[in-house]
């Protein structure tokens, strides 16, 4: 016949006791140190104003992109104001979208942690700092670059035209280099005889590539 069961045989082992003691201590540490942080994060997710700072960044982006290399041509370009207005609207909308995303991610992160689910590790703030450029800002930048290129090209063409015209006038010809039909070339001027020359800008437009008058 077996002996009576001894109560000491049913006592928890040292490992079990240590495990329970450690678990309880860890729980208390968590409650004392991490739970207040989580509650702070909850309040932050509710009340923190991310919007203003991200919008400030977006406005600065637009200003830097469109006015950092300001020139006289841009200042007097009346058409660029519309592009700038559209760029501001677009970029600020992107900023609001980013701020909303940060706030929502933080809120679900807090709630997920509180509910014992996986926490969202990334706040998304870094993503907002790399906020993609809005289409309107990109378009405004492109328009500005195009306007600048046109202006530069205009200056180059105008400059070349002016220089050539002055040179022609110094040689006794008209600004566009023509002479009266049938008149001799001024003394000392090399070139084909006068009848091949056209008098003014209109004649030049009507002339073909080799100087003959179209239909004339």
Considering the complex, what minimum distance in angstroms separates the CB of residue 121 from another protein?
14
Q: Using the Cα atoms of residue 203, residue 204, residue 206 and residue 211 in order, give the sign of their dihedral.
A: positive
First-to-last C-alpha distance (Å) of the chain: 138
Spatial CA neighbour of 103 closest among 42, 58, 57, 59: 42
Considering the complex, what minimum distance in angstroms separates the CB of residue 158 from another protein?
20
Contacts of 172 (CB under 8 A, 6+ apart): 186, 189
| Encoded tokens for 96 | 């609001």
Considering the complex, what minimum distance in angstroms separates the CB of residue 1 from another protein?
18
The DSSP call for residue 10 is G
Considering the complex, what minimum distance in angstroms separates the CB of residue 94 from another protein?
8
CB closer to another protein, 97 vs 180: 97
Could you give phi then psi for residue 122, rounded to 5 degrees?
Answer: -95, 135
CB closer to another protein, 104 vs 152: 104
CB closer to another protein, 68 vs 190: 68
CB closer to another protein, 155 vs 157: 155
Considering the complex, what minimum distance in angstroms separates the CB of residue 41 from another protein?
11
SS3 186: coil
Tell me how far the alpha carbon of residue 123 is from its chain's centroid: 23
Site residues for another protein per CB under 8 A? 12, 14-15, 17-18, 20-25, 27, 35, 39, 42, 46, 51, 67, 70, 72, 74-76, 78-90, 92-93, 96-97, 100-101, 104, 107-108, 110-112, 114-118, 120, 135-136
CB closer to another protein, 140 vs 176: 140
């Amino acid at each position: 016949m077996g002996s009576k069961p001894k109560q000491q045989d049913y006592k928890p082992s040292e490992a079990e006791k240590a495990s329970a003691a450690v678990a309880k201590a860890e729980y208390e540490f968590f409650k004392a140190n991490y739970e207040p942080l989580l509650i702070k994060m909850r309040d932050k997710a509710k009340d923190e104003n991310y919007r203003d700072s991200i919008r400030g960044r977006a406005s600065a982006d637009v200003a830097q992109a469109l006015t950092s290399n300001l020139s006289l041509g841009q200042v007097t370009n009346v058409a660029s104001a519309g592009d700038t207005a559209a760029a501001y609207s677009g970029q600020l909308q992107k900023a609001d979208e980013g701020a909303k995303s940060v706030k929502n991610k933080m809120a679900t992160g807090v709630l997920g942690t509180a509910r014992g689910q996986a926490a969202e590790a990334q706040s998304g703030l870094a993503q907002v700092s790399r906020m993609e450029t809005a289409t309107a800002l990109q378009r405004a930048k492109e328009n500005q670059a195009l306007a600048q290129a046109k202006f530069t090209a205009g200056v180059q063409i105008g400059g070349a035209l002016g220089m050539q015209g002055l040179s022609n006038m110094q040689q006794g010809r008209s600004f566009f280099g023509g002479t009266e039909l049938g008149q001799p070339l001024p003394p000392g001027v090399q070139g084909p005889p006068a009848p091949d020359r056209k008098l003014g800008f209109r004649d030049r437009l009507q002339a073909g590539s080799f100087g003959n008058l179209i239909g004339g």
